Homo-oligomer: A and B are copies of this chain.
Amino acid sequence: MAQTAGIGHNSAAGAQLKSIVERIERLEEEKKATADDIKDVYAEAKANGFDTKQLRAVVRIRKMGQQKRAEELAILDLYLHALGMEL
C-alpha cells in the first residue's frame, strides 16, 4: 500500500516505469522479428515440397532429446551430491 498515493505523472518512479515498459516493448518487437524469420523458413521449406507438420515434429523431437539429456545430467548431479561428491 505504500505506493497507492500515486506515482506522480512526472515523478522519478513514473519515468522509470516508462523506461521499463519501453525497453520491454522494444525487446518484444525484436523477438517477434525472429519469430517471423522462423515462419519464413517454414514457408520456404513448404514451397520446396517439405511437409511443415513433419518438419515441426522433427524439430520438436530434437529439442526433447536435448531436454532429456539435460534432465539426465541433472539427475546424475543429484545423485552425486547425495553421495557427497561434487561435480
Chain A interface (Cβ within 8 Å of chain B)?
3-9, 11, 13-14, 16-18, 20-21, 23-25, 27-28, 30-31, 34-35, 37-38, 41-42, 44-45, 48-51, 53-55, 57-68, 71-72, 74-76, 78-86
Contacts and interface: CB of A to CB of B under 8 A. Distances in A.
Nearest to A61: B71
| Copies of this chain | 4
B41 A57 contact: no
A4 B74 contact: yes
Given A31-B34, A34-B30, A34-B31, A7 B41 contact: no
Contacts of A34: 27, 30-31, 34
Given A34-B34, A59-B24, A82 B64 contact: no
